Amino acid sequence: MCQESLGFLRPFFLAVALLCMLSGAQGQALPDSQLQQIKQACETLVLDYANHRDQSRGERLAQLFTEDAELLVNGQTFVGREALRNRFKAPATQTFRHMMSNVQITVTGETHATGVSYALIFAGATEPQNPGAPILVSDFLAMGEYHDTFELTDVGWRIASRRFVPVFLSNAQ
């Protein structure tokens, strides 16, 4: 009697089971070696972003993104590689260091992935008279997460969108 009275739920449970299977099916259908290659390529983009940003290599930084990429940082949105070039081509008045960690990449398909990584960011004024000297800082600038989407393009994996979500901000500013 109980089974008959709950029979109307059978289509619901079948639909839920199907959705659960499909939600991870794209990434799971790929061979392990391909999943690892995609994860490595995307993790490299995360680390290259930090390195190029810290070394003021604006053109190389912009090349990490797709042509129509979107960057959301510090309340500003930059859309397109040209906008990113303009953002990063200005002469550096500060020295930055991005300490990246906890990089987690999720492959969502053969040509798409998402990622979250932690960033601890330090910044200090650059001294033109002594450019190689260590920079004194009393606190970090920000600690937060980068939320990324990645796409496979004709030239390899690129960042399609990147959003910085601050978790901790310095009160020393």
Give the pLDDT of the chain (173 residues) as one tens digit per residue.
455 555 655 665 555 554 444 444 444 589 999 999 999 999 999 999 999 999 999 999 999 999 999 999 999 999 999 999 999 887 778 889 999 999 999 999 999 999 999 999 999 888 878 877 888 887 889 999 999 999 999 999 999 999 999 999 988 65
C-alpha closest to that of 60 among 50, 71, 74? 50
Neighbour-count burial of 91, counting CB atoms closer than 10 A to its CB (0-12 exposed, 13-18 middle, 19+ buried): exposed
pLDDT given for residue 144 in this prediction: 98
CA dist 92 and 95 (Å) reads 7
3-state helix, strand, coil in the chain (%, to 5): 35, 40, 25
State which H helix or E strand residue 50 sits in: helix 32-54
CA dist 81 and 173 (Å) reads 30
What are the phi and psi torsion angles at 25 (to 5°)? -65, -40
pLDDT given for residue 126 in this prediction: 81
Alpha-carbon dihedral sign for residues 21, 118, 163, 169: positive
CA dist 162 and 148 (Å) reads 4
Q: Which residues contact 173 (CB under 8 A, 6 or more apart)?
A: 141
pTM reported for the whole predicted model: 0.81
CA dist 51 and 113 (Å) reads 21
DSSP, collapsed to helix, strand or coil, labels residue 147 as strand
Contact criterion met (CB below 8 Å) for 167 and 145: yes
pLDDT given for residue 26 in this prediction: 47
Q: Domains of the chain (ranges plus CATH)?
A: 30-169 (3.10.450.50)
